[in-house]
Structures are given as structure tokens and as C-alpha cells.
Amino acid sequence: MSIFCTYCTLKCNDTFCCFGGIRHQLLHLLRIMASLTRIIPWDIWYLLMTTLKGKTVVIGITGGIAAYKTCELVRELAKAGADVHVIVTEAAQNFVTPLTLQTLSNNPVHTDMFALIHPEAKSWKYEAGEKNTKHDPRITIHISLADRADVLAIAPASANVIAKVAHGICDDLLTTTICATKARVVFAPSMNVNMWENPITQGNIKHLRDLKYQFIDPEEGELACGYKGVGRMADISKIVEFIKKTCSKS
């Protein structure tokens, strides 16, 4: 006897299925998933289903006009469930304010390597069983950030900070944290096309790649300086996906 399924309103000859409901619902769910995987590649499907809940992402912002885009990056990472901590260099503060980033990340923003963190700061309390409990965050901020990070992403990454890291220079909170961390470090460069193509810059990038640092290459287009070419920071959605994929491996 042909009747209508109570779940999808389609005709179905399986009386038990229609009246039981659960079996038919599972069948439809499997059909939907099968159709989606034909449209969406498995790696993208995985990213769509992945959140950053329980992951700590440290974002470093250097001086460049693309710094304003990083506000959206911080917002998207926080929405995905990440515990986001932001380091803003002195130069970057000419483009974005710590208050904006603190509002978007819901965490204190770090600008000074020698500033003390208030002992009652919610985001800096270590619970029993949490990793790196041996470090007191009130004393060594760069070590605490370095140890807590699952991923440390520098966006935008200027030619200056790339050169510093490539040569082991640690003269501010960001470069010191990069040096101290064992987390995966990701650079999202942003600079003038001539600076990007400069053999010194490319040599620094090659050196860092050889040391297993990761890069999200800049895109080609019209740059803020008026030039056209490669140098524009990668799209925020691309950076978010890259961080998600990197976190899944950590």
C-alpha cells in the first residue's frame, strides 16, 4: 500500500518506515550527505564541520594598512570558538586600536612585553590539568602566550617582521613570542609588490619555509600604495580556513 511518509511527505511503500519515522529520517539524512559530498570536496566539507572550540590562536599584527582587515579575522576566529589573543606592535597601533581588538576577541590585547597581567584576569587563569601550568603568566607574558598557542598567526606580516624572525631578532613582544613558541607559526604577508619581490625578502621567506614556518601567500591586485601586483594580504576567509586546518593537525 502506498502512503505518504510522515517525515518528507513523499510516497513510500515501506509502512514500517513511515510509521516508525526514525529509520526513514536516517535514510534521508544519508541521501542528503551523499549529495553534498558530490558537490563539496571532502576537505572543504571537513572544514565546514570543524570549529576552533578549545583551541588558542595568538594573532600578531604588524604595521601595515592591511591591519584593519585583521579585525575581521579576529572576529571570525572568535565566532568559530577559538580563544583569541592579540599582540599589536607599536607600528600596528597606527592602524588599529587595542580597544577594538579587545572588544572583538573578548581578551586583553598585548602591546608591551614588560607589562604585567592582572592576576585576576579571567583569560589567564590556569585550571588544573591545563597545559603549561608551570608558567606564571603574571611574570613572563611572552612565554605564557607562546605556550598557550595552538597556532600563532601574523597577519599582516610585514617585510620587517619576516626579516627579523629569519635572522633571530627578538626586540619586541611579537618577535620574542614567535621565538619562544613551539606552536605552528603562520605568516600572512602584506607589502608593496617591489618589497615582496625583493630578493632579500624572498630569501628570508625561503629560509623560514625551510625551517617549517608556514606562509599564506599574498594575492595579486591593486595595492593601497597605488601599485598593482602581488602584495595584498590573502582574503580573510582563506586565512581562517588555513588556521582551522592547521589547528586540526596540532
In sequence order, which residues have a C-beta less than 8 Å from that of residue 240 and are 6 or more positions away?
73, 76, 77, 80
Positions marked active-site = 225
Residues in the chain: 250
Residue 20 and residue 70 share a domain: no
The structural domain count of the chain equals 2
Residue 186 and residue 76 share a domain: yes
**What average pLDDT score do residues 105-127 get?**
68
Residue 231 and residue 138 share a domain: yes
* Whether 60 contacts 153, CB under 8 Å: yes
Task: Please name which of 95, 92, 12 lies closest in space to residue 59, comparing C-alpha atoms.
Answer: 92
**Amino acid at site 196:** W
Q: What is the per-residue pLDDT for 181?
A: 95
Residue 8 and residue 125 share a domain: no
* Residue at 45 is within a domain: no
* Residue at 44 is within a domain: no
Residue 124 and residue 212 share a domain: yes
| Structure confidence at residue 113 as a pLDDT band (50, 70, 90) | confident
Residue 92 and residue 70 share a domain: yes
pLDDT > 90 fraction of the chain, expressed in percent and rounded = 57
Residue 27 and residue 104 share a domain: no
Rounded CA separation 115/144 (Å): 13
* Whether 150 contacts 57, CB under 8 Å: yes
Residue 65 domain boundaries: 52-249
* Residue at 46 is within a domain: no
pLDDT digits (tens, 9 = 90+) for 206-216: 999 999 999 99
pLDDT digits (tens, 9 = 90+) for 32-71: 666 655 555 655 555 555 578 889 999 999 999 999 999 9
Rounded CA separation 14/20 (Å): 10
CATH of the domain at 201: 3.40.50.1950
Q: Model pTM?
A: 0.74
pLDDT digits (tens, 9 = 90+) for 180-191: 999 999 999 999
